């Protein structure tokens, strides 16, 4: 469904008093998942700029760990949101915030 169709379907489900948490989560993922590309673009330059005196695969290993961590957080928070413990908005956007903070931390560390 498009964003507009999904939003209308959520309104329709609310009028019929049906649960909409999964639909709302899908709605927020429509923007948060593509935004993750920008967040990972923030993480990549500091990993590529690291000194190559040691092993050149350290940056690649860190990138894989960050990507795996992103996926684990994303999946865990989606499950938590489906149980109604966390808002779908926060479940969709928290992985981007955490990964973005890691990226900013790496940038600041490289600049020193």
Name the token pair of 77.
């928070």
Q: What is the pLDDT of residue 85?
A: 93
* Placement of tokens 């469904």 in the chain: 1
**Summary mean pLDDT of the chain:** 89
Angle made by CA atoms 66, 56, 44, in degrees to the nearest 5: 35
Q: What is the pLDDT of residue 47?
A: 80
Q: What is the pLDDT of residue 54?
A: 60
Q: What is the pLDDT along the chain (112 residues), one digit of tens a residue?
A: 888 999 999 999 999 999 899 999 999 999 999 999 999 998 888 887 766 566 667 778 888 898 999 999 999 999 999 999 999 999 999 999 999 999 999 889 888 7
Which residues, 6 or more positions from 22, have their beta carbon under 8 angstroms from its beta carbon? Answer: 82
**Pair 92, 28: CB distance under 8 Å:** yes
Query: Domain segments of the chain: what residues?
Result: 25-111
């Amino acid at each position: 469904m498009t964003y507009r169709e999904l939003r209308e379907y959520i309104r329709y489900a609310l009028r019929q008093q049906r649960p909409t948490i999964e639909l709302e989560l899908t709605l927020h993922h429509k923007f948060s998942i593509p935004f993750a590309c920008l967040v990972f673009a923030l993480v990549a330059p500091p990993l590529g700029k690291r000194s190559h005196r040691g092993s050149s695969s350290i940056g690649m290993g860190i990138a894989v760990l960050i990507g795996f961590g992103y996926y684990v957080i994303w999946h865990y928070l989606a499950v938590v949101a489906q149980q109604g413990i966390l808002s779908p908005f926060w479940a969709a956007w928290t992985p981007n915030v955490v990964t973005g903070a890691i990226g900013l931390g790496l940038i600041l560390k490289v600049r020193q």
